[in-house]
Every structure is written in C-alpha cells, then in structure tokens.
Amino acid sequence: MPAISLIIPVYNREKFVAAAIGSVLRQSEKDFEVVVWDDGSTDNSVEVARRAIGGDPRFRIVQAEHSGLAKTTNAAARLLTGQYMGVVDSDDAITPTALDETRAFLDAHPDVGVVYSDYITMDEQGKLLGPGSRTKIPYSKDRLLIDFMTFHFRLIRRELFSAVGGLDESMITGSDYDLCLRLSEVTKIEHLAKPLYLYRVHKQTVSSGKRLEQIMESKAAIERALKRRGMDRQYEVDVELIGKFRLNKKA
C-alpha cells in the first residue's frame, strides 16, 4: 500500500496535463500512486497523458464518459489504496517537495486530518505571477464559513474523505468548498505556510468561466454548514455581487 494516493481529473486539458503529470513525476517523495481519470475528453488529453507517464507503473489511466468533476473525483477515490490522498488539477502542478512535506506533517501530527499549503499563481504559459491570496487568510473553522482559505495543495487522510461522503455530486462548481466545510466539522485542519502548489489562471478555469454559478453553490454550501452546526437560527448568508467590467479586443 502506497503512502499517498493522488487523483488527476482530466477533461479536455491536452495543453496542460503533461505539466501536471510531470510535476508529480519530479516529486522527492516516491511512495505514491496516481489515478488519472479522463472525464470523457474530446481532445487528445489521454494520448498526451500516456506519453507524459511513459509507462511508470505508479500511474493508472481510466477513461470514462463525461460526468463532471465531483462524480469523477469520487469514482477515482474508490480506486485509491494509500493512507493519504490529494488532488492535482490537470491544468495545475505541485512543487517537487509537495508530497514529501505534507506527508511529513500528517505523519508528525496524528490528530490532524487535513493539511493545506500556500500556492503560487501562474499564467496560461506557466509564467509565475506571485503568491496566491486565499491562503493568507488565517484558518479557523468559523472563518471558513465565509472565506475559502483551505485552497491548494491539500493532503487528506483517506478514511476521512470516505467518512464525510466524498464530494457532493449534485454540485457543479462548489463541491470542493463544500467538502472542506464538512471536513472542518469532523477533523483538525492545519495550514503549512509553504507554496507547494502552482495554480494556473486561464479563461477555461471554473473561477473564470462560471463565477456566478460558483458563488451561488458556495452560498448553498455555507447554508448547509450553518444548519449542520446549529447556527442557522442565528445567522443567514448575505452575498454581495460586485460587477467588474473590462473591454476585450475582438478576434
């Protein structure tokens, strides 16, 4: 049984998936397995992934019909065997010590169920843009109700992912936040203040293309968390939508 299991969910990411896989191959931690789950891509993502893996037996590629990120991740999670699990988005990457450092933290802190790191943003071409802002917010279980600071990279004790039911498959864009809220209610979460994840910003990201849907699903996740915590009689969620406009030159 490997120490760490990773999921790389893929959907039409032929441009980026090799970089994501390459970042895993360069890890200083070698005791891992990876499920690359292709969610019905219509481009050459699978072929690019196979070339990037190069026959490494720690990787497994699964091809399935398109079902969305939550269902994809849950299905892949059922194939994992490691003590710890994490997700690397197929358009992102992890730094060479990401698995080593997060595993060492969980090994040294058996009372902690989830550890998350800082991250660095990069553009579509992979040029580093600077530290991400979300993880600068101090973590607390209550603060998580309004700020999603438990961003990337996260390493989770695999049994906890199963215990909380995995990702909510009814959600399209807010399942990751919802998962973190549920995990915060059953385990201790700690922040490792090191940039171990490279988050790519481009037009096809969920946060860019489906921002309004993401906001409303996040609101629903918060409302459910308030109810679970017995706080819904005292608090309600208020969302402030701020319009931001820009002019893009036509093609």
In a domain, 39, yes or no: yes
In contact, 181 and 225? CB cutoff 8 Å: yes
Cβ atoms within 10 Å, residue 22: 12
* Domain CATH code at residue 170: 3.90.550.10
Helix orientation angle between 211-228 and 175-184, rounded to the nearest 10 degrees: 20
Q: How far apart are CA 126 and CA 110, in angstroms?
A: 35
Going from the C-alpha of 57 to that of each of 30, 33, 159, the distances in angstroms are 12, 8, 24
pLDDT, tens only, 172-182: 999 999 999 99
Please state whether the peptide bond connecting residue 16 to the residue before it is cis, i.e. omega within 30 degrees of 0.
no
In a domain, 235, yes or no: no
pLDDT, tens only, 2-43: 999 999 999 999 999 999 999 999 999 999 999 999 999 999
In a domain, 233, yes or no: no
**Containing structural domain, residue 160:** 4-228
- Is residue 132 scored above 70 in pLDDT? yes
Coil, strand or helix: which one is 176? Answer: helix
In a domain, 246, yes or no: no
Buried b (16+ CB within 10 A) or exposed e, 230-248: eeeeeeeeeeeeeeeeeee
Output DSSP code: residue 169: T
Q: pTM of the full predicted structure?
A: 0.92
In a domain, 142, yes or no: yes
224 residue type, one letter:
R
The structure tokens listed for 169 are 């498959």
In a domain, 197, yes or no: yes
Mean pLDDT estimate for the chain: 94
Domain count for the chain, please give it. 1
- Is residue 223 scored above 70 in pLDDT? yes
Phi then psi for residue 116, to 5 deg, are -125, 155
